[in-house]
């Protein structure tokens, strides 16, 4: 299995993107940005469609660019209109998907490629994607080291962060930029439909097992690593779709974490 070049690329991408998604996911879930991530992911479909329509062989760039446009549109609409956040996200999500479907219907063929973007495909990952993911990992690790305190403070209360001299606006934009690139890259592995689960489930696995935020970050990163590595290997061995296997591995770990925490709670309760 590990001698196959495509598997080497897939496993390399999986063990990089799993922990990155899990780490960002701690703050995505705490700041209630899960639906935001889902909108970015669905925005990528229009990017893929535009790339295919333009005859591009490399679809990563149009996918990232269109996802970024959706993210910027979301922030702009939130800051400049009275629309509810949910309405803005639903508008952009359905608009992007509709645009993608319309463009793809005008382009003949490529049904297989579309399927791989929707549900993830091991064979679709190239060394270039792994290289971008590795750079992303370094950026996220540097960000964790340098800006963990202001991001945490911003998560607790934005006003408190501003009064503590945190540039909340700049940090918000930087976070959204990192999140968008991470989501767009992870689509290759998990697919548009399932990518948000890698942001949401690892932090959910960590929560019942964590006594503090440090625990949650560490456990979440480990869960992201295990589910992506385990899911990719299982998907090869069972010859089933990669994205679905990763997500189900994640869900399995979540069930184990939940049962463990319930047992721990019960055993720590004093006898009456």
Partner 1 sequence: MNPFEPFPSLKTADKCGCGHQHSARVNETTKAIPVVEVVQGQIAFDGTPVLRGVNLRIPAGEIVALIGPNGSGKTTLLRSILGLQRLDEGEIRLFGTQDLPSVMSRVGYVPQRLSLDRSFPLSVREFLALRLKRTRFWFWQTHRKIEEEIRPTLIEMGVEALLDKPIGRLSGGQLQRVLIAFSLLEKPDLLLLDEPTAGVDTPGEQSFYEMIGRVQQQHKLTVVLVSHDLSMVYRHASWVYALNGVICCEGTPEQVMNADSLKQAYGIHVAPYQHHHHVH
**Which residues of this chain interact with partner 1, rule CB under 8 A?**
29-30, 32, 144-145, 148-149, 152-153, 155-160, 162-165, 207, 210-217
Q: How many residues does the chain have?
A: 272
H-assigned helices in 107-167: 111-119, 127-156, 158-163
Give me the least distance between CB of 136 and partner 1, in Å please.
Answer: 20
Contact 210, 216 (CB under 8 A): yes
What is the nearest approach in angstroms of partner 1 to the Cβ of residue 162? 6
Q: How far is the CB of 160 from partner 1 (least distance, A)?
A: 6
191 neighbors 117 (Cβ within 8 angstroms): yes
Q: At what angle do helices 197-206 and 34-53 cross, to 10 degrees?
A: 150
Instruction: Look at the block and give the residue holding tokens 């899911």.
Output: 231
Q: Which is nearer to partner 1, 196 or 249 (CB)?
A: 196
Measured from the CB atom, the residue of 147 and 173 that comes closer to partner 1 is 147
Nearer to partner 1, 64 or 166 (CB): 166
Measured from the CB of residue 159, what is the shortest distance to partner 1 in angstroms? Answer: 6
Contacts of residue 15, Cβ cutoff 8 Å, sequence gap at least 6: 225, 228, 229
Q: Which is nearer to partner 1, 196 or 210 (CB)?
A: 210
The residue among 48 and 153 lying less far from partner 1, judged by its C-beta, is 153
Q: 231 with 245: CB under 8 angstroms?
A: yes
Choose among 181, 180, 200: nearest CA to 129: 181
* Least distance between partner 1 and beta carbon 78 (Å): 15
């Amino acid at each position: 299995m590990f001698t196959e070049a495509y598997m080497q690329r897939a496993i390399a991408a999986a063990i990089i993107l799993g922990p990155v998604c899990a780490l960002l996911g701690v703050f995505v879930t705490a700041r209630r940005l899960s639906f935001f991530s889902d909108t970015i992911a669905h925005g990528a479909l229009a990017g893929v469609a535009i790339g295919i329509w333009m005859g591009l062989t490399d679809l990563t760039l149009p996918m990232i660019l269109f996802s970024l446009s959706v993210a910027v549109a979301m922030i702009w609409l939130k800051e400049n209109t009275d629309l509810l956040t949910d309405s803005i996200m639903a508008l952009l999500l359905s608009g992007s998907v509709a645009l993608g479907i319309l463009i793809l219907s005008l382009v003949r063929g490529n049904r297989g490629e579309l399927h791989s973007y929707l549900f993830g495909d091991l064979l679709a990952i190239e060394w270039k994607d792994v290289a971008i993911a590795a750079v992303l990992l370094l950026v996220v690790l540097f960000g964790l080291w340098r800006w963990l305190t202001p991001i945490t403070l911003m998560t607790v209360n934005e006003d408190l962060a501003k009064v503590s001299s945190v540039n909340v606006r700049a940090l918000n934009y930087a976070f959204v930029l990192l999140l968008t690139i991470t989501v767009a890259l992870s689509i290759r592995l998990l697919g548009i439909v399932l990518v948000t689960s890698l942001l949401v489930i690892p932090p959910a696995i960590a929560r019942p097992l964590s006594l503090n935020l440090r625990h949650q970050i560490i456990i979440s990163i480990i869960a992201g690593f295990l589910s992506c590595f385990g899911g990719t290997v299982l998907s090869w061995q069972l010859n089933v779709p990669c994205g679905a296997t990763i997500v189900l591995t994640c869900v399995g770990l979540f069930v184990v974490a939940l049962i463990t925490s319930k047992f721990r709670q019960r055993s720590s309760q004093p006898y009456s």
